[in-house]
Chains A and B, each alone.
Chain A
Amino acid sequence: SQTIHQWPATLVQPVGSPLSLECTVEGTSNPNLYWYRQAAGRGLQLLFYSVGIGQISSEVPQNLSASRPQDRQFILSSKKLLLSDSGFYLCAWSVRRADTQYFGPGTRLTVL
């Protein structure tokens, strides 16, 4: 069966510091991968998605970036965090773009 991991689970970072969040999927090959952010107020916003290694599509312009160095690894990064980057970051995977997306446990990021 497929499983999706995210780490760290929680993170507190100062403004201006770098960020690296990691997501890995097990039990499937060539998944579509997604990063979402859920800010206070519950709305879920798609940040990035990837259909393959090195292929990243950005949905929202911001100071975040994503990379997919391996088939089942998806990384969310920032060079300098802003206060507005605080939120709950969720990674998800699907077999194909139109298929059900399955979510990881999330990373709760607080920028102070």
Chain B
Amino acid sequence: AQKVTQAQTEISVVEKEDVTLDCVYETRDTTYYLFWYKQPPSGELVFLIRRNSFDEQNEISGRYSWNFQKSTSSFNFTITASQVVDSAVYFCALSEAGSGYALNFGKGTSLLVTP
């Protein structure tokens, strides 16, 4: 069963629009970590954020923000005032104590930002 669901396969926005990438996860562990990675066309996976299950505080980093809600098992990612350089595939991932902290990735959301 898919433990991390990224329902949006592809999103296309015009530059300066805000965009939210959804991530829903499934776990029975009380200790787990959630991640977002960015994969630009070059292919390398770039780490964006790590959040542990005991910290539901939302985080903002420049134009990026993350909304972690345990009640809905979601860890959504918002890009404010999107730019062309934000075009990439974005992956949400889960690691759980019960699985030896193996990274379980969603299928990714491809974001295209056009001028």
Contact = CB atoms under 8 A, between A and B. Distances in A.
Interface residues of B, number: 22
Interface string A22-65: 00000000000010000001111010010000000001000000
B43 interface: yes
Contacts of A49: 102
A104 B39 CA distance: 12
B45 interface: yes
A88 interface: yes
A7 interface: no
A59 B95 contact: no
A94 to B, nearest CB: 9
Contacts of B100: 97
Given A98-B33, A98-B95, A100-B50, A43 B105 contact: yes
20 contacts: A42-B108, A42-B110, A43-B108, A44-B91, A44-B105, A46-B102, A46-B103, A90-B44, A90-B45, A92-B45, A97-B101, A98-B97, A98-B101, A100-B47, A101-B47, A103-B37, A103-B44, A104-B44, A105-B43, A108-B43
